[in-house]
Every structure is written in C-alpha cells, then in structure tokens.
Structure 1
C-alpha cells in the first residue's frame, strides 16, 4: 500500500479520472494530481499558491466541513469555482486535512464517495505518522530555543551548539530576527494560550517562495518566532506575518483575545539571538503599556521608551517623580498636555497650536505659565530634556501602576 501522499493522490486520480487534491486543516495544499480537464480557477490558484485566499477559506469553513465525519458535497464558494466532494481526513480522533474531488458536471456516485472515504483513511495514517514526527521535532527545537535565550550563559552556549547540530540554518551568512508575541489578559485562560500557539505556528509557515526558516516557541501567554534568512525580512513581510498571526488568533478566540507584538533587531550570529529576543519582548511590553506604540512595536522605533523600558520598575517609578512636572500638575492638567504636545513637536509653535486647536497667542500664554510654574526655561536644552523625559517616565509609570499584577518590565525570562 502506498505510504506517500503524492502516490495516494495520483493513484486515486487515475482510477477515477478526476483531479484530486489533499489540503491540511488550514486548507494549505499538501498534494495534487494532474488535471483531467475538470480544473477551475480555485483549483489553479490553489496549486500555484499552495493555498487559497483567506476570504474564500472562510466561505469554505462556513459550510461546516470541520465537523463532517464522512464525504459530503461542498457548494461552490465563489462563482468561478465548481462544486466539490470533500472527504475529511481523520486519524486517532484528529482532523488532519481534507481530500477533494472536483465536480466535472456529473454527480458524485457512491463509487466516488467510497473511494474518497478509503483514500482519506489511508492519507490519515500517513498524515498521523507525519504529525507524530513533527511534534517530536517541534518539541526538541522548542526546548533548544528556550535555552537559547536563557539568562545562564553556559545554557545558551550549549543551545547554540545544539541548534547548529540540527542544521536548520546555513553555517554562515544568516541573519536572525525575533518576533515576540504577548497575550494580554488572565493567566488562566488556557484556551487562549492554545489559540496563541496555533496562530504563531501558522504565521511561521513561510510562503514556498521564501528562502529561509522559521522556528517557534510558546509558553503559556508568551510565544515567539525566530526567523533566519540570508537577508533580513523586508518590512512588508514582517507586517504580513504579524497580520496573519493576529487575524488567526482573533478567529480562534472569536475576537475576545488581545495580543501585542514586538519585533527585535536583526543579529548576525546565533549566539546573539538572545539580544533580539530581549528587544522583541521589551517592544511588546511597550506596546502593552503605551497604546500609541502598538499593537506591533518595533525595536529601533520606540524613541526614549527603548531606554526607559530597560529600567527596573522601582527605579522608573522613583525617577518619574519630577518636581517641575508635579508643580504643573498642581496648576492644571491642561498645561501638562500642552507641554507634551509642544515638546513632541520639537518646539514647533504652529504645529502644536494646530494639534491643540488653539490660537498661537493662547499657546504662548500657556508656555509662559509652564515656565513660571515649573521653574524651567523652554529655550534651555537641559530643561527641555528634563521635562520631555519626565513626561515619558510619568506615562510609563502610570501604565505600570495600572497593571493588574506586578511583572518584570524588562521582558526577559529564564528557562533553566
């Protein structure tokens, strides 16, 4: 009996003289036979792209195929497509994929349904064996990844050797980058943790035309992707990965879950991956604390928050008590907002007045009051730095105080 998925598909196609395909549970193409003149636009697109458009995928799933226990007829999801016979592929109680026959005009006979059911069972055995091997490999790689970002230098060094031994990346000339994902909400939401892991794994499945590798690790409400390429991923590709991840998570949680993502810097050595990891989760933490930074925050684009996020919480809370700003707060919260807008706009009066929708004369009057109450001169660089940095400290300190529970603001963890 054939134990190769492609052989199974080709054998059924020749027997029935129909195009046959097998998808994984997310409708990504795993194997496809040659055409028999029954192909439609959906079939051609699936073969070329190894998947179908998200909108069409949703229309297919809306027909309930994930709950089917035997072959059934799927109505054409779009006008350019034909009806299909869909046979769920299951083994050991798991849904492992779908087998497809295209309706070429004649209805599906009992012979077709019986053949599809038998082949789906054979494909299920193949895919189940693949799943077992995949899960073992995934667990081994995940353990190495967590050790790769351990705070213990000896553990990290051994993890570097272990990762090289796996030969997942070329020995030289590879650039590495981390995408960190933090789930917000109660720690006890186990279903959302599962959804997070599933979403990250799917997002890490690279497009077939992409050269490189992606590995993932997940632990409760935190997960991350390690990307390894000859050239760092383009900004557009990173955006697409993050979008796929958040969309998949939202779908799995019915929109009730919330994620923040951080993108670390690019490093050129395996031993420096911990640096990109730390940066990614500092950025993710910034996105969680300061909404204007998120929901996807990039290390290198966080301005002063990159420095502030590295500070221990106690030190940051103490430093946020800036006497000059406290004096302004006692005078008027309106003055604090005016000062922040003025400093964020680099002292541009016209832009600040437009942002605050006030007349320039009103803005000048407020700035004079700010100088009088704070004791600072806005034309002195040191005073402007003190006030501007103090405002950012206060924003971050307020976010820390509003957190439901204390947490490590530096985003690092040990897996020793």
Structure 2
C-alpha cells in the first residue's frame, strides 16, 4: 500500500556528487535515505534497479511496506554496515546498508543494491571512505538545519507558554522573522506517542518526519516543535479549515507514525479549538492537551481528539488524572448498576439522555414501543431515586455515564 508520506529534504549538490562518484566506482546503484528510509538523493541506475526503487523515483512517495520492512531489520541501531535480505513480495532486492553517523547522530542510511549479497574488499573500502565523507557533509548540513529548528521550537514554546509578556514577545519575533503571519484562523495540534520499544532518538525523528509536511501546505502556514515523545504544530490559515480537514490531517500523521514506529507507540493527536488571533494560540494549545487525553481514553475516536467535538468531555478531562476515578460516579448511577445486571436499563437511560429526554426519538432509536420505554424509565427512576423530568437529576446521570465511559478505558495517559 502506498501512503501519502512526507518526503525527506533533498540532499545538497555536494552530497549528490559524493553519491555519484561512489556509484561510478562501484558500478552499482547507490542511494542515501534519511533515518526514516525516505530517499534524500540517489545515483543513476546500473541495470540493478528493482520495483521498490522505481516506484519511489516515479511516484515521489515512500512505499510504506518497504519502509516498515527495512526499519524492522533494526538498521537504525546497527553499529556498522551489513546486508538486508531482499523481499520478492515487495519487489526489493538485497541491499548493503551503511548507517551514516557523526558524533553520535544517525544522519542517514546509505543503500547499495547488492543482489548476491557479496562485495569485494576493494568495494567495501571504497564504501567506507565515501561513508566518512558523506557523514561529514551531512553533519555540517544537519547543524545548520538543527539551529533553525531549535530556534523555531523555542519560539513556539514561548508563544504557547504561561507568561503573557513572553507570549507577546514571541509573537512579535515570529511575525518579524516571517515564521508566522496574523490570520483570523489559528489552531494548535499536539501529537503524542507512548514510549515503547523505540529508542528516544528514533521517536523524535519519526515525529518530525510525520509532522513536517504540514508546516507548509496550500491552505496552512505554521511552525512546529518536537520534544521527546510529542510534537506541537501551530498552523495559521486565511480561511477556516473544512469540516473534516483537520481530522484528515491528524489521521495522516497517525498513519505516517504507524509506518515509522512500532505499534506500541500508539500515537494520538489532539486538536485545539480554532482561535481568531495569533495571540490566543496558547488557548488552542491548552485545549489540544485536553483533546490528547480524550484521544487516548476514548477508543471510539480512533486516536484523534478534537476540542470542538468533545462536549462535556472537555470539562471532565480537565480534572487531574488522580481525581478521575470511580469516586466521581454518582451514587444513584452506581445503585442502578448494582441493582440490575441487565444492560438494557443503562442503554435506555443513555439513549434517553442523548436525545434530550425525547420519548419519540428514544423509542425510535431503540426500536422500542413507547409503552415499554415508559416502563423502563419508571424502573430507572425507582432504582435511582431521581426524577428524569428534572434537569438537574438528568445532568447528574448524564455526567456519571460520561465519567464511566472515560474510566472504561484504562490505557494510561502519557504525561503531556
């Protein structure tokens, strides 16, 4: 399956020259990928190209199955070069893989097509010499890029911080430097992953790779920050996002992270409320943090929480984690649960409350005769001791059901 994954940044002319020189020496196809196995630059073909290479070049998109396979070989943790087997079902020939490192940083992976998984001593020496030169060149380019990203990250964190004075100063710097512009539509998304089997560095690289393609789009302009196990994306837009635009963006980010990371990463995205001023971006950020908790706790949301769709959950999820426990469930609701193992009464109560106490709508939704519905509602009132015609009593039961829904998923929240 081909997914719409972001491309790696293209390599410099100097790096391309090193790749071309090595390929000519070896008479083999050589490519440099980033740590997420996205192509940075590649040599010409020498008759050894395979379907994976051709698809990548022609479509300009990553083959997600191929990426997953290569990463599953643990190449980003290798201390030295080695071969990976081919996969006929993927159209992938064996490759000689060289991790390109400098001062502890994994900068990329050199991939050399080697169908027989055999290289001469002369070839391996030439590859080692080229790898040292490539690593040095990529490290110099990495330093320049890293400085820019660090500056943008620090500015964004100040813009979303708790100090009004620092926020205002950061906003002005962002405008002066052209990193952001004043628009009537501002939104912040927070992307969070669980710390599973993946090394910390690989998580940060994956987050950056999955999110960076949304900094500049046809409809949005923004900046991002990556910290340990989360990324923050601030976007400004000249027009309001479409009905499902931010949801689709969030799903694409989750899909990309599913390609780059193990399933234990369990990524979620929280989307903050839409704000009308850049000065209020911090509000959208705080809301996005709540939406992340919703995405983690409510499986029905499939990893995406949107503040503007949370309803009463937006209030409940602002409670501290230690306070969100069974003690919050109202006694009348606990009595209903203890008195009747039949889930039909609870289902009827929830449907009734979701339909604002409308008997016709509830009966239709449950496909239940109204006489039977009235009977169930009387049972609920007798057991709970509450009056379903009373707004305050209905609110108690409705909030209790929402709290139970939050508690039903015991997945631990990742600290944000």
Shorter-chain TM-score above 0.5: yes
Which bracket does the TM-score occupy, shorter chain normalised? Answer: 0.7 to 0.9
What TM-score comes out, normalization by structure 1 length? 0.74
Q: Per the alignment, in what secondary structure is the counterpart of residue 88 of structure 1?
A: strand
CA distance, structure 1, for counterparts of residue 322 and residue 190 of structure 2: 25
- Unpaired segments ≥5 residues, structure 1: none
**Offset of 1:197 from its aligned partner?**
3.8
RMSD over aligned Cα, in angstroms?
4.4
**Offset of 1:269 from its aligned partner?**
3.9
**Offset of 1:23 from its aligned partner?**
0.5
What TM-score comes out, normalization by structure 2 length? 0.74
1:35 maps to 45
Q: Among 142, 146, 151, which residue is 2:162 paired with?
A: 151
Q: Among 26, 34, 45, which residue is 2:55 paired with?
A: 45
- Unpaired segments ≥5 residues, structure 2: 1-11
Contact 1:182 1:223 in 2 (8 A): yes
1:298 maps to 306
CA distance, structure 1, for counterparts of residue 124 and residue 145 of structure 2: 30
Contact 2:299 2:409 in 1 (8 A): no
The 3 A distance-change label for structure 1 pair 68 and 371 is closer
Q: Among 190, 201, 217, which residue is 2:208 paired with?
A: 201
CA distance, structure 2, for counterparts of residue 326 and residue 81 of structure 1: 58
CA distance, structure 1, for counterparts of residue 197 and residue 28 of structure 2: 44
CA distance, structure 2, for counterparts of residue 209 and residue 144 of structure 1: 17
- Within 5 Å, give how 1:98-247 maps onto structure 2: 98-103=109-114, 108-169=119-180, 171=181, 175-182=185-192, 197-206=204-213, 210-211=217-218, 215-218=223-226, 223-228=231-236, 232=241, 233=245, 235-245=247-257
**Offset of 1:56 from its aligned partner?**
1.4
CA distance, structure 2, for counterparts of residue 220 and residue 99 of structure 1: 26
The 3 A distance-change label for structure 1 pair 310 and 265 is same
The 3 A distance-change label for structure 1 pair 113 and 360 is farther
Asked if 1:279 is matched to 2:276, the reply is no
Q: Among 389, 393, 397, which residue is 1:391 paired with?
A: 397
Contact 2:33 2:108 in 1 (8 A): yes
CA distance, structure 2, for counterparts of residue 174 and residue 111 of structure 1: 62
CA distance, structure 1, for counterparts of residue 338 and residue 74 of structure 2: 60
Q: Among 53, 66, 86, which residue is 1:56 paired with?
A: 66
Contact 2:215 2:222 in 1 (8 A): no
